[in-house]
């Protein structure tokens, strides 16, 4: 694709890897021009990005500013990822780079890699503190003179949308995943705390709020489990509560497990004015036998039934998903079943991940690990299917009205790109003045990469 991608970050499962600096250099709100400098780097998922932002705001409130590119930072913070071996390697690489480029700096390391292998992290250059449990973070920062961690964030550096962490932890036992080991148990934030944070972000100009977590669908499970007489407050109760916040804004769920999509969830979703009709149930495989080896909790028939039920109750919902290709023992037939299931589901987007054995998981010990070339070929084939499915969905949106959050301008073309409520990438006439704003459009043509649209004022 020659033009820039339409999205800031794709909606993917909450264990995807990415590397992001937190933001540009800013001055502390608390002390004018700050004398203390910091540099923060995030690897991994949206939850990590949220947690880094929370730390950043605590630092800002105590006189820190992010170091300019040309200056050395007094304090470096790296929020690490351990979903794959690549995550570990990138984390080590970043820590070493920070030590080289910031002579004399002190590096604090947090995140999943720090939790899984603290001794290894502690040996890296410049590291003075390794956070193995997030509950230790306030005490560690307090020792650096940073008191009173904020209850939530007020901004999301460098973004047109803001992510709000609603829960932490996973209790599933998928055979390929290390996350339940490094983020065990369930911890849901209070609805009031979340509501206050969302209101604050809306007041600060964010038009789209993404509710995220390690296992979002388990929001509220632990608050009533085994506690008789206490009314449950689950994910759908949360977005019902948030939906009562007035204003021209929208919210989105980062992910949901198909088994957690029940009638209460669907009815609440259908009734919510601000909730985007786009959902991300992770398929992982379209083969029943592979799903059993993965220790997933659904059948393909049940998965497709859930999607159909949502299509009956909601206004043309879009579905995105994750698929792991090349799981140990995956045959040609099982891969073909995955392709078929993706077509039957009619996904807008399929995030295709090549299987990578993760030490410490059961799947890493399974026999019949597939050759890298076979996995690469299957990733390519499913990628072609995904692009066909995307274009098919874009075609369905031709002639339909949509509201686009404009995220980037296309240089010297007089056009901009953004995403609509169904997370369709949309290109339309516009300028930099549209960035961060909603624009009402109607689809006029489709490519494999995006929906081409006209602005409302051109067809009124």
* Residue 28 confidence (pLDDT): 38
Does residue 20 have a pLDDT over 80? no
CA 106 and chain centroid, separation = 29
Residue at which a domain ends, from 121, 143, 165: 143
CATH number of domain containing 413: 2.40.50
Q: Is residue 119 part of a domain?
A: yes
Q: Is residue 185 part of a domain?
A: no
Helix (H), strand (E) at residue 267? helix 263-271
pLDDT bin (cut points 50, 70, 90) of residue 3 is very low
* Residue 230 confidence (pLDDT): 76
* Residue 409 confidence (pLDDT): 94
pLDDT bin (cut points 50, 70, 90) of residue 21 is low
Nearest to 421 by CA among 457, 397, 445, 456: 397
Domain that holds residue 124: 19-143
Q: Is residue 97 part of a domain?
A: yes
pLDDT tens, 93-152? Answer: 999 999 999 999 999 999 999 999 999 999 999 999 999 998 888 998 898 888 888 999
pLDDT tens, 403-450? Answer: 999 999 997 789 999 999 999 999 999 999 999 999 999 999 999 999
Per the structure, how many domains does the chain have? Answer: 2
Average pLDDT, integer, range 29-45:
75
Q: Would you give the end-to-end CA distance of the chain in angstroms?
A: 32
Q: What's the pTM value of the predicted model, to 2 decimals?
A: 0.90
Q: Is residue 89 part of a domain?
A: yes
**Percentage of the chain exceeding pLDDT 90:** 83
| Residues 78 and 43: beta-carbon distance below 8 Å | yes
Nearest to 116 by CA among 178, 40, 48, 52: 178
CATH number of domain containing 77: 3.40.50.12160
* Residue 131 confidence (pLDDT): 96
Average pLDDT, integer, range 357-377:
97
* Residue 10 confidence (pLDDT): 31
pLDDT tens, 244-276? Answer: 999 999 999 999 999 999 999 999 999 999 999
* Residue 302 confidence (pLDDT): 97
pLDDT bin (cut points 50, 70, 90) of residue 44 is very high
Does residue 23 have a pLDDT over 80? no
* Residue 226 confidence (pLDDT): 66
d(CA 390, CA 351): 12
pLDDT tens, 158-190? Answer: 788 999 999 999 999 999 999 999 999 999 999
Q: Is residue 419 part of a domain?
A: yes
Residue at which a domain ends, from 108, 143, 178: 143
Q: Is residue 316 part of a domain?
A: no
Residue at which a domain ends, from 93, 116, 143: 143
Q: Is residue 57 part of a domain?
A: yes
d(CA 388, CA 418): 21
d(CA 55, CA 146): 10
Does residue 18 have a pLDDT over 60? no
pLDDT tens, 213-230? Answer: 999 999 999 987 766 667
Does residue 338 have a pLDDT over 90? yes
Does residue 366 have a pLDDT over 50? yes
Average pLDDT, integer, range 36-40:
96
**Percentage of the chain exceeding pLDDT 70:** 91
d(CA 115, CA 347): 35
Q: Is residue 132 part of a domain?
A: yes
């Amino acid at each position: 694709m020659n033009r820039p991608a339409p999205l800031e970050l794709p909606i993917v499962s909450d264990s995807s890897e990415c590397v992001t600096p937190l933001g540009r250099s800013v001055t502390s709100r608390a002390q004018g021009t700050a004398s203390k400098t910091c540099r923060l780097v995030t690897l991994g998922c949206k939850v990590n990005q949220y947690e880094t932002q929370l730390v950043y705001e605590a630092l800002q409130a105590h006189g820190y500013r992010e170091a300019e590119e040309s200056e050395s930072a007094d304090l470096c913070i790296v929020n690490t990822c351990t979903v794959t071996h690549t995550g570990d390697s990138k984390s080590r690489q970043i820590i070493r780079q920070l030590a080289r480029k910031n002579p004399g700096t002190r590096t604090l390391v947090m995140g999943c890699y720090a939790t899984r292998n603290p001794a290894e992290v502690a040996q890296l250059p410049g590291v003075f503190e390794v956070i193995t449990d997030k509950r230790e973070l306030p005490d560690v920062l307090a020792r650096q003179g940073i008191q009173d961690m904020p209850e939530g964030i007020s901004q999301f550096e460098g973004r047109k949308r803001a992510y709000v962490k609603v829960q932490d932890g996973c209790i599933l036992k998928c055979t390929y995943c290390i996350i339940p080991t490094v983020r065990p148990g369930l911890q849901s934030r209070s609805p009031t705390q979340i509501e206050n944070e969302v209101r604050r972000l809306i007041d600060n100009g964010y038009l789209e709020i993404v509710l995220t977590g390690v296992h979002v669908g388990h929001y509220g499970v632990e608050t009533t489990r085994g506690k008789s007489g206490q009314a449950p407050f689950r994910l759908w109760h949360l977005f019902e509560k948030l939906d009562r916040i007035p204003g021209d804004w929208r919210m989105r769920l980062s992910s949901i497990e198909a088994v957690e999509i029940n009638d209460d969830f669907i009815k609440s979703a259908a009734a919510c004015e601000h909730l985007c009709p786009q959902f991300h149930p992770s398929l992982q495989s379209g083969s029943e036998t592979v799903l059993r080896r993965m220790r997933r909790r659904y059948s393909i028939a049940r998965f497709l039934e859930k999607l159909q039920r949502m299509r009956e109750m909601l206004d043309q919902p879009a579905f995105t998903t994750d698929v792991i290709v090349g799981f140990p023992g995956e045959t040609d037939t099982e891969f073909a079943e995955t392709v078929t299931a993706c077509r039957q589901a009619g996904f807008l987007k399929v995030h295709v991940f090549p299987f990578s054995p993760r030490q410490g998981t059961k799947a890493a010990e399974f026999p019949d690990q597939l050759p890298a070339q076979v996995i690469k070929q299957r990733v390519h084939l499913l990628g072609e299917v995904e692009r066909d499915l995307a274009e098919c969905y874009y075609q369905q949106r031709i002639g339909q009205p949509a509201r686009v959050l404009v995220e980037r301008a296309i240089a010297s073309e007089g056009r901009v790109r953004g995403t609509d409520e169904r997370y369709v990438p949309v290109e339309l006439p516009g300028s930099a003045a549209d960035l961060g704003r909603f624009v009402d459009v109607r689809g006029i043509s489709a490519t494999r990469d995006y929906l081409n649209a006209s602005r409302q004022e051109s067809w009124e």
